[in-house]
Amino acid sequence: MLKNTVTHEVEFCVVGGGLSGICAAIAAARLGVKTAVMQDRPMFGGNASSEIRMWVCGAHGENNRETGLIEEFELENMYINPMRNYSVWDSVLYEKAAAEENIEILLNCACQEAKTENGVIKSITGYQTTTQTRHTVAADYFCDCSGDSILADLTGAEYRKGREAAGEFGEDIAPETADARTMGMSCLLQIRDTGRKSVFIPPKRAYKYTKETLTRFPAQNLINENFWYIELGGTGDSIKDTEILRDELLKTAFGLWDYIKNSGSYDADAWELEWLGFLPGKRESLRYAGDYIMNQNDVRGGGKFDDIIAFGGWTMDDHHPEGFLTKEPATIFHPAPSPYGIAYRCIYSKNIQNLFFAGRNISVTHAALSSTRVMATCALLGQAAGAAAYAAVKNNASPREIYENKNLLKNLQDILLDNDCFLPGIKREVSALTNAARLEDRFENLRNGHDRPIGAGDNGVYVNIGEEIKFAFDAPRAVTGVRLVFDSDLNRATVRYTNPDNPGKIGLTHNMMANKPRDFDGIEFPETMVSDFKIDVVYENGVKKNAAAVKGNYQRLVKTAFEKGIGNITEVIITPEKTTGKSDGYKNKAHIFSIDIY
């Protein structure tokens, strides 16, 4: 046993730093919770990181893009990473966590042990390879965001594995009898169109494929191909078999590239192998049992839960367990409405009293998981778990007690809405000061409690640059800050380049690209954002003063706090001064969804 053990005492400990884990940790830390995040890799992001390179997907449909932390990360990435470099994307996530003074970051540290007493986790311990140190983290609440649910067997938390029988929850996309089959794991590859001829000699162990032996072919047009279907492991044990599968996946991926590059069936002379991931990305292992197990019918029914804390909207994208080896379709996209709600009871353990979970291991059936597993949804679940941990710490309550106490549950939803998470069907409560103000009729949408377009309703206002939005009070008030929600173009296409085979813009909604065209020169930031604005206040005596002047903003949610507050105010005036727009329609007009005065 190593002598070098360091003990940490925090209020909330997150295990696993994929998008769900990093969102859980940051959400809790920003609410003032002392938090530790233990991540076994050198960077955050999990399947979205440069080690695995899956792009972030989420809810389908106009204006259904996930906001909150995931939108903050994506906007940061769009702003500082126009070339969509994976290391820069890693650094976006790392910097976000490192900026939080309430987070202790434990990277390269794999959780291996847990101490549990009477159904309560006391501490977990991980081994940090870079320092040969064991880290023990004692906490009041834990959140397993490890994907593989490392705390399940370590704590005795109940879980499920495999596919439910159709009859158990009445799921018509489930198999007739239950089995232990899951979706598989993948080693992805990235290729690059270099414009010059290049040679590829496959490693000796790579499989040799022919037209007859290869069952899965990529599209002829290699642009945007991400090879997600190089997938194995759904018929065995997606945890214990991983190293054997990694070896198989490498042989398969190199073999497939050899076929594409060298068989003559593809116009691939100028294409080069840029990168091949040696770490398999996983889709499914164990799913914890929470107080509720969400199923296909909940998804289909729109997830109309009173305890909604997140939403999904990807189709039920149920991969064949045989993955690359099946001759059947590699996946079936069963329709799902978008958005649909996800219940709070799906993110805490049924039998371990202080355990939350978020990500692909939440309490859902296999069928529901086939939709909830996409990473923007996982990020929302993480943010919800982090906010719930804050509610638990603040009220000295168990996760279940938060569900049972309707006030606590409503507070949790209020926190999420205030932090720009969209909860379909729930209106954000506008601050009392905002409602008390006089406001021109044409600005009423700014305080209607909706921070995005919903259906036919835009829920925002358009104002000219330089035009004043005045909140006027009948009697002098003290104000402490202003919360604003700008337009980040929720329907934006982040991949804008010319496809030689299909001229015109390609519109994809992902944070990163599978590959870049030859002439790629970066992607521009959306034009809809208010970048510069000022906030003036008018005192009771009629004197007008500037309270804040923001320049170069690129975030959708902006909370401007006035230090110590400002008293005796009769007006708060917000003036947009510039947008990120370059074209006329965007340059001269600001689109704002909400303004709250506090």
| Positions in the binding site for ligand FAD (CB under 6 A) | 15-21, 38-41, 46-47, 54-57, 110-111, 126, 145-148, 150, 185-186, 188, 228, 281-283, 359-360, 373-375, 378
By beta-carbon proximity to ligand FAD, the closer residue of 46 and 481 is: 46
Please state the closest distance from residue 335 (CB atom) to ligand FAD, in A.
Answer: 18
234-237 contacts: CB < 8 A, separation 24 or more?
Answer: 234/181, 234/182, 234/183, 234/184, 234/284, 234/319, 234/320, 234/321, 234/322, 234/323, 235/181, 235/321, 235/322
Nearest to 482 by CA among 593, 421, 572: 572
At position 393, the amino acid (one-letter code) is: V
By beta-carbon proximity to ligand FAD, the closer residue of 57 and 408 is: 57
Q: Which residue has the tokens 């090879």?
A: 227
Q: How many CB atoms lie within 10 A of CB 462?
A: 14
By beta-carbon proximity to ligand FAD, the closer residue of 290 and 581 is: 290
Please state the closest distance from residue 501 (CB atom) to ligand FAD, in A.
Answer: 22
Nearest to 144 by CA among 159, 132, 131: 159
Please state the closest distance from residue 55 (CB atom) to ligand FAD, in A.
Answer: 5
Please state the closest distance from residue 586 (CB atom) to ligand FAD, in A.
Answer: 29
Within 8 A by CB and 6+ apart from 281, the residues are 46, 47, 52, 54, 185, 186, 187, 188
The helix/strand/coil state of 455 is coil
By beta-carbon proximity to ligand FAD, the closer residue of 238 and 434 is: 238
Please state the closest distance from residue 112 (CB atom) to ligand FAD, in A.
Answer: 7
By beta-carbon proximity to ligand FAD, the closer residue of 367 and 574 is: 367
By beta-carbon proximity to ligand FAD, the closer residue of 17 and 321 is: 17
At position 438, the amino acid (one-letter code) is: R
Please state the closest distance from residue 258 (CB atom) to ligand FAD, in A.
Answer: 20
Q: Are 495 and 223 in contact (CB under 8 A)?
A: no
Please state the closest distance from residue 588 (CB atom) to ligand FAD, in A.
Answer: 36
Quick one: 214 exposed, middle or buried, by C-beta within 10 A (0-12, 13-18, 19+)?
middle
CA 408, CA 410: separation in Å to the nearest integer?
5
**CA end-to-end span of the chain, whole Å?**
54
Two tokens, residue 109: 């540290």
Please state the closest distance from residue 510 (CB atom) to ligand FAD, in A.
Answer: 8
Please state the closest distance from residue 380 (CB atom) to ligand FAD, in A.
Answer: 11
The number of C-alpha atoms within 13 Å of 316 and in the hemisphere containing its C-beta is 22
The helix/strand/coil state of 436 is helix
Q: What is each CA distance from 151 to 53, 56, 384, 497, in whole angstroms?
A: 25, 25, 19, 44
Please state the closest distance from residue 322 (CB atom) to ligand FAD, in A.
Answer: 15
| CA of residue 62 relative to chain centroid, distance | 18
By beta-carbon proximity to ligand FAD, the closer residue of 153 and 467 is: 153
Nearest to 204 by CA among 265, 258, 273, 261: 258
By beta-carbon proximity to ligand FAD, the closer residue of 51 and 458 is: 51
CA 239, CA 241: separation in Å to the nearest integer?
6
By beta-carbon proximity to ligand FAD, the closer residue of 144 and 487 is: 144
By beta-carbon proximity to ligand FAD, the closer residue of 376 and 408 is: 376
By beta-carbon proximity to ligand FAD, the closer residue of 377 and 579 is: 377
CA 133, CA 3: separation in Å to the nearest integer?
8
156 — alpha (psi -120 to 50), left (phi > 0) or beta?
left
Two tokens, residue 598: 């506090």
By beta-carbon proximity to ligand FAD, the closer residue of 127 and 209 is: 127
Please state the closest distance from residue 159 (CB atom) to ligand FAD, in A.
Answer: 14
Beta bridge partners of 15: 38, 144
Please state the closest distance from residue 250 (CB atom) to ligand FAD, in A.
Answer: 14
Q: How many CB atoms lie within 10 A of CB 552?
A: 9
At position 183, the amino acid (one-letter code) is: M
8-state DSSP, 11: S
By beta-carbon proximity to ligand FAD, the closer residue of 347 and 572 is: 347
Please state the closest distance from residue 126 (CB atom) to ligand FAD, in A.
Answer: 6
